[in-house]
Each structure stands twice: as structure tokens, then as C-alpha cells.
Structure 1
């Protein structure tokens, strides 16, 4: 919610115009609003009741490019969204987008006198927003620097950051910690918008019923450290991560391609750096493995947690075992590879593999003999099975979605 000073400035402009005025942040999230003048629409009413606009409305407004506007303009209404046209003024200071000043004008017929009044009021509103932004930013910057030191490479800096975070009451001395990392691909969003979107998507998790957290945010990535009296459950972390990724999809265009990695659950502040390292690996998994749908969890990665610590230059076709490459190149190689994968996933059980593939056991035995002939390996050998199974796992990592940013 906006401060009393911002509320007074918005009310003053609305009374002069005799029109409804709304002040939103750069993510089209509600800050404050004037009283109604009979021009309210369903979007305005829902925003007042819910404290925010619907995701579809937010995406529609952002798709108009308002974050890039250098001057005021009209946002077209949308009957299906319950949105009347609005005159939108981007509020900027030193090129930084602070917020969006919206004046409802269903017929887009603001007079020159009205637009002049808005133009005269906008600088004072922007100045007040900037002052509040600076006040909040100073504290955030200090906290961010401590968090980066806490998860950094230097044990001495980690120890010092831990003491300062606890002494200042920025974090509780709780026994359980977990770090989540969000990474974005380079996008077409205007400067500053990405950082605002990351902060807006994560800030609700700085304080929950289960945990207390702090953030570090840049224009490409974000870190969220959470401390709690009880370990956060996998279900809670998955739901949280899904909400973050969905929020980013609302605030940013598809080119941002966000991925999120959840680190292992560790012991208190002192071991947060370990969770951070694991979260980076989990985020790399989310980038390389499409079936994870943008969210990787260290504790669910299994053997991939080891493989993904190899440098990118080694994660290529040459890492595949020669027998597996021979199988892929053989006649009917795809069918044989699928058979092999199913056989290994079912721990070499003939009945369960045949049932899963929906083929007769005789057909399965025939395929397995073919696999052994092509690969030269013995499927009764644990070492040979491990070679093939590991090769299949590596193969899953060789079609990356994009480059990851190192945090």
C-alpha cells in the first residue's frame, strides 16, 4: 500500500479531474487509489478488493509496452477483461521507472486542461515515490551484500556475514535453512524491469507462516534464503517455486525463460552456502531438462546432481559410452534404446519390463539379445548395466534449453 503522502497526492489530482486515479508499481500492482467518481470498472473494483489486478490484466497492460513508454498514452479498454480505457503516465526519475499513474477515461476524451493537470501533478508523485524508493533501497542493499557474502566462497566472509545478519535481527537463529535460486535468460525487457519483476515475484516469501527469508536480486538472477524451525517440506517448496515461476511469466515476456533451483535442506545459517551451491546445480538441471518444467530440486536430482557438476564443455556427445553410441546408430536403435531404458528402470525385471512395454516376454528376450550383440556388453553384469544406465542419464542432459547464468 502507498504512503499517506502518496495517497494525498493521488486524491488531490482525482478531485481536480473528477475522475478515478490509480497509482501502480512497474508490475501494475496496486499502490494506492482515489475514491470513485462513477467511472469505476470491474478491474478497478477487483483490484481494490484483492489488493492487486488479475494476472491476465497485468499481462495485457505490460504487453502494451508501458514499461518502455517515454510519454503518456492511452491503454485500450478490454470488455472481456472488464477494463475501461486508461490514460497512463509512466513515472520516471533518472530513467528509472517508478510506477504508472492511471486515470480512467472510458472514451479517451481527456481535455488539454486535464492532461496539463496530470502533467503538473506527475513530478510531485514521482518525487515522493523516488524518496520512498531510496529509503527502502538503502536497507535492501545492505542486506543483499550480507546475503551474497553468506553464500560466497570465503569462510571468513561467511562467518562475518552470519554474525551481522543475526546481530541485526535480519535473520532468526533457526535450525533449518534452504536456498532457492532464480535465473533468467537475456530478455527484451527494458532496463530495471527484470529486477523489479524478480523482487516482486519473490518478496512475498520473505515472511511466511513457516519461514523467515532475505533476498538478493539483480537484473539476471535472484537468491532467496529461508530459515525455519522445521524443515520446509518438498510440497511447500514446490508450491512456492511454482508461484514464483508463474508470477515471472506474468511480469516478463517469454524470452526471459525463468528457471528455479531449490537447494538441499541444511542446518541453519552456517550451512546456507551449501544449499546455495546445490540450488545452482538444481537450476542448471531445470535449464537442461525440459520435463522439470523450469523447477529443479537438489534432493530430487539423484545421479543428475553429480553429472551436472561437470563443466559445460564436457557435457557433449563424447561423454556418452561407446556401446551406447553404437546402439543409437544401429538399425532399430531407437526401439532398442527405449527397451534398454525400460529394462534398466525396472531393475532388470523381465515381467515388469514386458508389461510396461506391452510386448510378449519372448519379444523382450529377443530385443535384449540384440542390445547385447550391438553393445558388446552383458546385461547380467552390474558394471555393464551401470555403464549403459549412466550413459542414458547423460543423454538426457545433452539438449539444453539455454545457457544458465552463474550466481
Structure 2
């Protein structure tokens, strides 16, 4: 089977040589990480390795807890070198950390294991010299990478945009350049982050870090378009992805963003419907945006919405936010909710409707005698003025309850 391989992150021979040379000069282990504390390159050990370093080398990435700790110390915002305190419970020894910055860009973090004797003035000067060389090398890579990413971002936005001519042109260009295959299974995912106090630059870096692993997997190839606090991921799968596979992907994205940005960052993920060709990516994207609205408005979804599992919610979610208000609730249902009804009757009605009006099934789920259930149903009919054996009346009440679910959370900016 053909395998699609993810492109490696920056970290060529020049960076490795600089890291190795500094480590030999200092006689200490040295690692160069990206702004999300993901390893770019590392030196050999100097009998100063700790559990975090060993696990990182074995896994290729540090544990989430170690990354959260480093980022919680504000290292990614440092403008001058400093000591990162150790954490015995994590198995982390102190690090001398140097932020790698160039022309306002945070490019990475140079870390030197700082056990034993503190670094001398001559050693910190050597670190500073190498850090400047690393910054120059990484900045050159950043410029080349930015040009590629801007080209990709523009094509992806055109591919899923509203202009049909631009969609066709982007589709043709992506195929000609070999950036994406034509099909056979296309899914677009929309991701948005809110509630983050950091800069939009930090959020965009985190989005890239969380979504990068899904640009190339064993069965899918994808492209990213990142706009400050939101991102679009277009993926073409070799075989139709199972719901559980997309669930795992979405939860991994949410988990990574919480690691990189902290628990205060609210993430919403919307997954569009599955399309048979790349030309249908715009349809999947529109559906992903609707699914993201569902994820914001329905707490039970845990911040992740999938178009193909939203059912009747998709009807209401295509209305503008200004139209999604209490005025849409049927008067009959409002009488039950506000005019003397109680939570027990609402629960009974919901259970009855969701079980296709089956009295035995509803009684079993609610753990009540059928006589009690019939009494409650009569109460509901008296309050609403609707007949529960009438299909049209049941539809009014059921859709009304679905609408009420969407009105429980305040609207936010669309993804």
C-alpha cells in the first residue's frame, strides 16, 4: 500500500552541527526545541541525562505534562536567557534556556542541561554566539517556509471558498503541483480557538503544531490554512475514514491545543461531511462550519461536532445567529417550559419523542409504571394543547426541544 509521509520539521545538518559543537564545548547535553517545546535536534549525552530527556529521545517528543510545565514558565515569551527550574516529579533537571528570536519572531528554544556547576561567563558567551548562529539559520528556513505556507494557505482558502472560478483554479493547481490527490475520500476540518490571552501569533503556532501531524499519515494526505486563531485542514484519505478515526483525530487536536495553550483556551472543532472528490471540499468545509457551530452551542458534544452525526440540528444551524432565539420556540412548547410545566414533564416528553412514541420503552428508560407515564403524557397534552398521537404535533414538539438545546449556550464568532 502506498504511504504518505509527513514532511519533517526544520532541522538540517547546519543546526545539528551547531548543537553538537556547543555540547562538546560545554561538556553538557544540548537540545534545540521549537516554540512548542518539540525537539528539532539534540546532542549526545554527557552523563547528565534525566527522565524527560530519555523519554523525549525514545518517543521523538516530550510528554504533554513536561511540555505544559515548560510553557507554563513562560519560556516561549522570554526575551533573554534564564534558568528553567527542575521538577523532580517529572524527572526534569534544570535547564539554561535561550529563546531563539530574530526580527520579532520566536523561532525556538536552545536548552542546556544545567546540573552541577553553573555556566561560566565564557560558557554563556559561547552559548550566546551559537544562539545567534542558530537564529540566523532558523530565520532563513522560516522565510522559505512562510513563502510555501502562504502559497498553500491561499490555495486552500480558494478551494473551499464561495467563488466557483477560484475553486476550479485552485483545484487544478493543487493537482498539477502534486500537493493533493483528486480523491477518493475528502474531509475538511475547521478548528477555532477562543479565550486565549496570548497573542494571535502564539495561537497560530499552536494550531500549526496541533494539526501538523495530520498533514501526512499512513492513510491520508492533507494541507493546512491557518488564520491567526482558526485553521482549515483539508484531507484526502485512501479509504473512507471511520467515525472513530476522525474522533481520535479531533480529540488529539483538542488535547494538543490544551497542552500548548493551557486549559483556558477553548477549542471548537467541526468536521465536514465526507466527499468523493477534492472538488467537493468546499461543501465539506461549509458543513464543517455548521458542525463547529453545533459544538459551540451543544455542551454535550465536548467541543467537537461532526456534520454526519448532527441529524436534525443541521436544519436550525444554517440559520444566522440573529435568528436563533427564543422567538422560534413553538408557543405550545413554551407553555410547557414556562407556564407551569416542570423538568419531569420535559424529561418525559423528550424521552417519549426520542423513542418514537413507544410507551413501553419510555416507561422502561424512565423507570416508571405505565400508569404514571400515561398520566404525565396527559398532563403534557393539556398544557401544550397538542396531541401526542398526531405525527405533525410530535414533530413540532421534537423540533422545538432540539431548538431549545441550541439556545442554551450564547453564540460565538463562527469558525
- TM-score, structure 2 normalization: 0.95
User: How far 1:107 moved relative to its partner?
Assistant: 5.1
**1:373 Cα deviation after fit:** 0.9
- Residue 194 of structure 2 aligns to a residue in which SS? coil
1:376 is the counterpart of 2:398: no
What is the aligned length? 406
Q: Write out per-residue CA displacement over residues 261-284 of structure 1, whole angstroms, 9 at most, x where no aligned residue.
A: 110011211111000000000011
Q: 1:101-250 alignment to 2 at 5 Å?
A: 101-106=110-115, 109-250=118-259
Structure-2 separation of matches of 1:399 and 1:387 = 19
User: Which SS does the other structure have where 1:247 is aligned?
Assistant: helix
Report the Cα distance in structure 2 between the residues aligned to 1:200 and 1:331, rounded to whole angstroms: 52
- Secondary structure at 1:226 match in 2: strand
Q: Structure 1-normalised TM-score?
A: 0.97
Q: How far, CA to CA, are the matches of 2:277 and 2:318 in structure 1? A: 24
d(CA) in 1 for partners of 2:37, 2:15: 16
User: 2-side partners of 1:51 and 1:34: how far apart?
Assistant: 14
Q: Distance in 2 between the 1:214 and 1:277 partners?
A: 17
**Does residue 1:39 correspond to 2:51, yes or no?**
no
1:387 matched to 2:387:
no
Write out per-residue CA displacement over residues 21-40 of structure 1, whole angstroms, 9 at most, x where no aligned residue: 11000000001111111111
Secondary structure of the residue aligned to 1:260 is strand
Partners in 2 of 1:123 and 1:229 — Cα distance? 44
**Deviations along 1:105-145, whole A, 9 cap, x unmatched?**
12572222222221222111111111112222211211111
350, 355, 363: which is aligned to 1:341? 350
Given that 1:87 and 1:108 are in contact with CA atoms closer than 8 Å, whether structure 2 keeps it comes out as no
Deviates more, 1:101-110 or 1:386-395: 101-110
Superposed displacement of residue 350, structure 1: 0.8
Whether 2:317 is the aligned partner of 1:295: answer: no
Aligned-residue offset at 1:256: 2.2
Q: Distance in 2 between matches of 1:99 and 1:339?
A: 57
Which runs of 5 or more residues in structure 2 are unaligned?
1-8
Alignment RMSD: 1.4
- In structure 2, the residue matched to 1:404 is 413
Partner of 2:4: none
What residue is the counterpart of 1:272 in the other structure?
Answer: 281
Q: Please state how far the C-alpha of 1:302 moved relative to its aligned partner.
A: 0.2
Within 2, Cα distance between the matches of 1:258 and 1:273?
22
Moved more, 231-240 or 366-375: 231-240
What's the offset of the Cα at 1:332?
Answer: 4.8
| Counterpart in the other structure of 1:98 | 107
**Residues 85 and 108, structure 1, Cα contact 8 Å, conserved in 2:** no
Q: Which residue is equivalent to 1:49?
A: 58
Unaligned runs of 5+ in 1: none
The structure 2 residue matched to 1:314, chosen from 287, 305, 323, is 323
Shift of the alpha carbon at 1:103? 0.8
Cα distance change, pair 108–155 in 1 and its aligned pair in 2 (3 A): farther
Post-superposition offset of 1:317: 1.6
